[in-house]
Amino acid sequence: MIPFLDLKKINAQYEIELKEACSRVIDSGWYILGNEVTEFEKEFATYCETEHCLGVANGLDALVLILRAYIEMGIMQKGDEVIVPSNTYIASILAISENGLTPILVEPNIDTFNLDPTLVEQAITGKTKAILTVHLYGQVTGMDELNAIAKKHNLKIIEDCAQAHGALYKGKKVGSLGDAAGFSFYPGKNLGALGDGGAVTTNDSELATTIAALRNYGSHEKYKNLYKGMNSRLDEIQAAMLRVKLRYLDNEIQARQSVAKAYLEGIHNQFIELPVVEDVNAHVWHLFVIKTTQRVELAKHLNDNGVHSLIHYPIPPHRQLAYQEWKDDSFPISEEIHEQVLSIPISSVMDSKIINEVIRLVNKYNV
């Protein structure tokens, strides 16, 4: 069976260094907010070309904390609206509602799966305070258009970079393209820890200071609490794992890009639409997502022949039971995407034999 993502094999490449880093933390006797987190924050800020990075517990909390900080800073208040793509992973939306803010769903472009800037402007009201854009599957959103809209309407731009570590827009790294960004280091992400982890990057010093307190019970000085904060810290042990894996992130991205190039060149099937890519080398290919009206049959054909595929995502957010308030709303582009997408294996540990086998089987699919 060709697995969708062989995490064990991915981490085995770095086994010696990961075990050394693990021992270093055990031997240090210091397990929360110590040297490993501080060093990782510096290294990841440098990588993302931002001034600040704050390690937090996971990607959802990274986004929750950015919005919470804007509320504490008086920039947003409960009831304000945040624009978010209607086809994103649910976590982007949860971060908004968790703060008592209102998520406003805006449809993506059917080809790129990313927010459609022309629809964003129509959704802005007097209560809109931010656009939470998601670089879905690893491809960056049209940031120039979004930044222009944000400037015109005085909105914050928050990037959800959970699927896009290292992706580029006009040569600049994601995480540095808006006012603040949230990253996830969930094990299956392109930069994955060996457990949960997340980070915020920003060039806004006040935002960084506020989040540093909020992630640590709202404490700005030991035993003094400025805010009603959370406990959401990146563990020392995960920071140590991430410092190892960050050194190889660019290799990981290049390997994924070569799989994507092989798929884009090799897959030819009238029943399948390949992803529309602006720049194959700027995209970091967290997922390789094809579209087909025959998803059930194609997935079965692949599975019967030993290739594991997944759906990202089968149910659109407005059809989730958690968001009953949207049950009568319709987002046709998002619905079409959710009905037709299928993700085929992509990772840094696929050799050409495996890649060619996936291509052969996808091309062989016939009704």
Q: Judged by CB under 6 A, which stretch of 53-61, 66-74, 211-219, 333-341 contacts ligand PLP? A: 53-61
Residue from 48, 56, 67, 91 binding ligand PLP (CB under 6 A): 91
When asked if residue 114 is in the footprint of ligand PLP (CB under 6 A), the reply is: no
**Residues contacting 275, CB < 8 A, separation 6+:** 113, 137, 139, 264, 288, 289, 290
Sequential DSSP letters for 242-258? HHHHHTTHHHHHHHHHH
Q: Are 331 and 105 in contact (CB under 8 A)?
A: yes
**Residues contacting 173, CB < 8 A, separation 6+:** 47, 48, 49, 166, 167
Residue from 160, 179, 204, 235 binding ligand PLP (CB under 6 A): 160
CB of 333 to ligand PLP, least distance (A): 18
What residues from 12 to 31 belong to the interface with ligand PLP (CB under 6 A)? none
DSSP code at position 317: G
Alpha helices per DSSP H over the chain: 7-12, 15-28, 35-48, 59-72, 90-98, 117-122, 143-153, 205-214, 236-246, 249-266, 295-304, 332-340, 352-364
Q: Judged by CB under 6 A, which stretch of 37-45, 52-60, 72-80, 293-301 contacts ligand PLP? A: 52-60
Residue from 50, 58, 210, 347 binding ligand PLP (CB under 6 A): 58
When asked if residue 134 is in the footprint of ligand PLP (CB under 6 A), the reply is: yes
When asked if residue 302 is in the footprint of ligand PLP (CB under 6 A), the reply is: no
Q: Which is nearer to ligand PLP, 56 or 259 (CB)?
A: 56
When asked if residue 59 is in the footprint of ligand PLP (CB under 6 A), the reply is: yes
Residue nearest to ligand PLP (CB): 59
Q: Using DSSP bridges, classify how beta strands 219-221 and 198-202 pair: parallel, antiparallel or unpaired.
A: unpaired
Residue from 50, 86, 87, 92 binding ligand PLP (CB under 6 A): 92
Dist. CA 228–CA 219, nearest whole Å: 9
Q: Judged by CB under 6 A, which stretch of 156-164, 168-176, 220-228, 248-256 contacts ligand PLP? A: 156-164
DSSP code at position 323: G
Three-state secondary-structure class, residue 173:
strand
Dist. CA 295–CA 292, nearest whole Å: 6
Residue from 108, 142, 175, 198 binding ligand PLP (CB under 6 A): 198
CB of 128 to ligand PLP, least distance (A): 21
The closest alpha carbon to 364, from 274, 295, 280, 272, belongs to 272
Q: Which is nearer to ligand PLP, 48 or 272 (CB)?
A: 48
The closest alpha carbon to 190, from 161, 233, 169, belongs to 161
What residues from 162 to 191 belong to the interface with ligand PLP (CB under 6 A)? 162-163, 184, 186
CB of 197 to ligand PLP, least distance (A): 7
| Element holding 180 (H helix, E strand) | strand 180-184
Q: Judged by CB under 6 A, which stretch of 86-94, 172-180, 248-256, 317-325 contacts ligand PLP? A: 86-94
User: What b/e readout covers 93-102, taking b as 16+ CB neighbours within 10 angstroms?
Assistant: bbbbeebebb
Q: Judged by CB under 6 A, which stretch of 57-65, 144-152, 275-283, 337-345 contacts ligand PLP? A: 57-65
Q: Which is nearer to ligand PLP, 59 or 175 (CB)?
A: 59
Q: Which is nearer to ligand PLP, 41 or 160 (CB)?
A: 160
Dist. CA 27–CA 122, nearest whole Å: 56
CB of 301 to ligand PLP, least distance (A): 27
Question: Binding-site residue total for ligand PLP (CB under 6 A)?
Answer: 15
When asked if residue 287 is in the footprint of ligand PLP (CB under 6 A), the reply is: no
Q: Which residues bind ligand PLP (CB under 6 A)?
A: 58-60, 88-89, 91-92, 134, 160, 162-163, 184, 186, 196, 198
